[in-house]
Structure 1
């Protein structure tokens, strides 16, 4: 990869973060001493000065799932429907973390991914708060550096002839938001870029030079692109439902977290009933139609 994009990604991943988040990342890695390779901090909390009362978001990158869990059904679940998601508390803060192997993290940031969930997130700012060694750090940086070229290469033929790099970013984020069950309201995808246009212009120009001009990340043709996005959006919605069902088993209090996130972003007042906590999978399934009807999830 050309040095410009790698340099930008390396600098951003290495930028300072809240010391409490960094301490949390180290404590999270310590829970997986035989498998932890890197811990990345991402999401809206990166922009917050006060983390109290917020739900932080981390990705834990592991060498492989068997090393992380041992011979457990969790390893199979993580391999078949990545990632697994778990709650975590440390130093008075709360978080959720997703677990991916190094191989899956690299694949899901690349054009080879069959869904948008990883590269759509890591095309945005993140921090690499812990790495097992220099090789693990290098692999994490290389994986993240694939995300922006992937997003922009897929967005380019959908931008209706608009080639301004900020327009490409907005087009890409708008498409990815339609490829998942998201609680955020319409317009959120544009506000991501508007919050830091200089960052997205610099990363976008470097990504275009790396991925598009070189041909390393070719765009689909204008004729192929709509069908490609339709497949990504259909698969993304189904994967969101399947992951939600899986989280009802792996994530303690998962259904309460789901309601909290939707209420926070969509301004709804969903309340979970006792039977839904007792039977979270059934509760989540019965909740979904209501969310779609009310527009809380798009």
Structure 2
């Protein structure tokens, strides 16, 4: 184990094992209902700030898709375009808590964390702070640590290749998150990518240089913790050309995921409308018929929300 890996793991283990509100553990227990996946990861805005009125985000990691109850069609959909997403709500301590749950296999997670991945969505999420709120055993915990570490290394590598010049560590990350939000079809308002670092600048700064080192990137540190990765212009040019291709495909991929979520979710059309209004301010205003029959009404719903989607496609 290298010094760089030691430094990264010390940070990530502390985050993965940090306590969360007991209501989160109770919610996860209801979601699992006695099932034993490899792990459950808690991430996102609900982790950054507990909000009982919001939506808590979880990833359930499986050894195989057959380890989680689903129809054959749903498993095929998860194999073709992971992850499958569903909704759950339970009354915990007199409050109704709501969750968005993504289901993915360990091998799918590994592919999404890799620097060879053509999809930004997994490593961009799990280079951020995350909690391991349920784990089957020590072997599964080690696997999750390995994959979260890889997400940090992959993200840091893209930060170096998409950035320019010499910058403080936090700015390399800020530029990256601005890019990842543009590379996906996101319904959030512009600037959302810069808010996820709020209060965590020191954490990201501490991870950047060891993550570069673990990924094989040399760097120079100068006065004021300004960092310069050793990259040639040819390397940057090739990386940016690849990124542009990934971004174009990624927006279409996320359109497909949003549409898929509208049907894998119970009340999926209502979820889609809530998601758009919460983050973009646009009210989709579903009729009762549209809420009950999202497939029949899909062309109308997409047309009504076209400005949001076109804005996302343009980045």
Given the alignment, which residue of 8, 12, 20 partners 1:5?
8
Paired with 1:284 and 1:68, the residues of 2 have a C-alpha distance of: 28
Question: For residue 45 of structure 1, what is the aligned residue in structure 2?
Answer: 46
Paired with 2:159 and 2:299, the residues of 1 have a C-alpha distance of: 32
Matched, 1:281 2:295: yes
**TM-score, L = length of structure 2:** 0.85
Alignment of 1:10-29 (within 5 A): 10-29=13-32
Q: Which runs of 4+ in 1 moved over 4 A?
A: 294-297
Matched, 1:239 2:243: no
Instruction: Please report how far the alpha carbon of residue 18 of structure 1 lies from its aligned counterpart in structure 2 after TM superposition.
Output: 1.0
Paired with 2:77 and 2:185, the residues of 1 have a C-alpha distance of: 20
| Cα gap change, 1:30 to 1:205, in 2 (>3 Å) | farther
Question: For residue 81 of structure 2, what is the aligned residue in structure 1?
Answer: 81
Question: For residue 141 of structure 2, what is the aligned residue in structure 1?
Answer: 137
- Whose Rg is larger? 2
| Cα gap change, 1:281 to 1:202, in 2 (>3 Å) | farther
| Cα gap change, 1:103 to 1:153, in 2 (>3 Å) | same
Instruction: Please report how far the alpha carbon of residue 40 of structure 1 lies from its aligned counterpart in structure 2 after TM superposition.
Output: 0.5
Partner deviation per Cα, 1:26-62 (whole Å, 9 max, x = no partner): 33233534xx11000000011224x321111000001
Given the alignment, which residue of 78, 100, 103 partners 1:96?
100
Instruction: Please report how far the alpha carbon of residue 282 of structure 1 lies from its aligned counterpart in structure 2 after TM superposition.
Output: 4.6
Question: For residue 227 of structure 2, what is the aligned residue in structure 1?
Answer: none
Question: For residue 116 of structure 1, what is the aligned residue in structure 2?
Answer: 120
Indicate if the aligned counterparts of 2:60 and 2:101 stay in contact, CA closer than 8 A: yes
| Cα gap change, 1:290 to 1:233, in 2 (>3 Å) | farther
SS, match of residue 140 in structure 2: helix
Question: For residue 229 of structure 1, what is the aligned residue in structure 2?
Answer: 243
| Cα gap change, 1:255 to 1:163, in 2 (>3 Å) | same
**TM-score, L = length of structure 1:** 0.90
Alignment of 1:204-223 (within 5 A): 204-213=208-217, 221-223=235-237
Indicate if the aligned counterparts of 1:108 and 1:115 stay in contact, CA closer than 8 A: yes
Alignment length (residue pairs): 293
Paired with 2:70 and 2:277, the residues of 1 have a C-alpha distance of: 36
Partner deviation per Cα, 1:158-208 (whole Å, 9 max, x = no partner): 212234321211111111101212122111212222432111111223312
Deviates more, 1:97-106 or 1:181-190: 181-190
Instruction: Please report how far the alpha carbon of residue 149 of structure 1 lies from its aligned counterpart in structure 2 after TM superposition.
Output: 1.3
Paired with 1:224 and 1:175, the residues of 2 have a C-alpha distance of: 16
Paired with 1:176 and 1:31, the residues of 2 have a C-alpha distance of: 36
CA RMSD of aligned residues (A): 2.3
Instruction: Please report how far the alpha carbon of residue 292 of structure 1 lies from its aligned counterpart in structure 2 after TM superposition.
Output: 4.2
Question: For residue 160 of structure 1, what is the aligned residue in structure 2?
Answer: 164
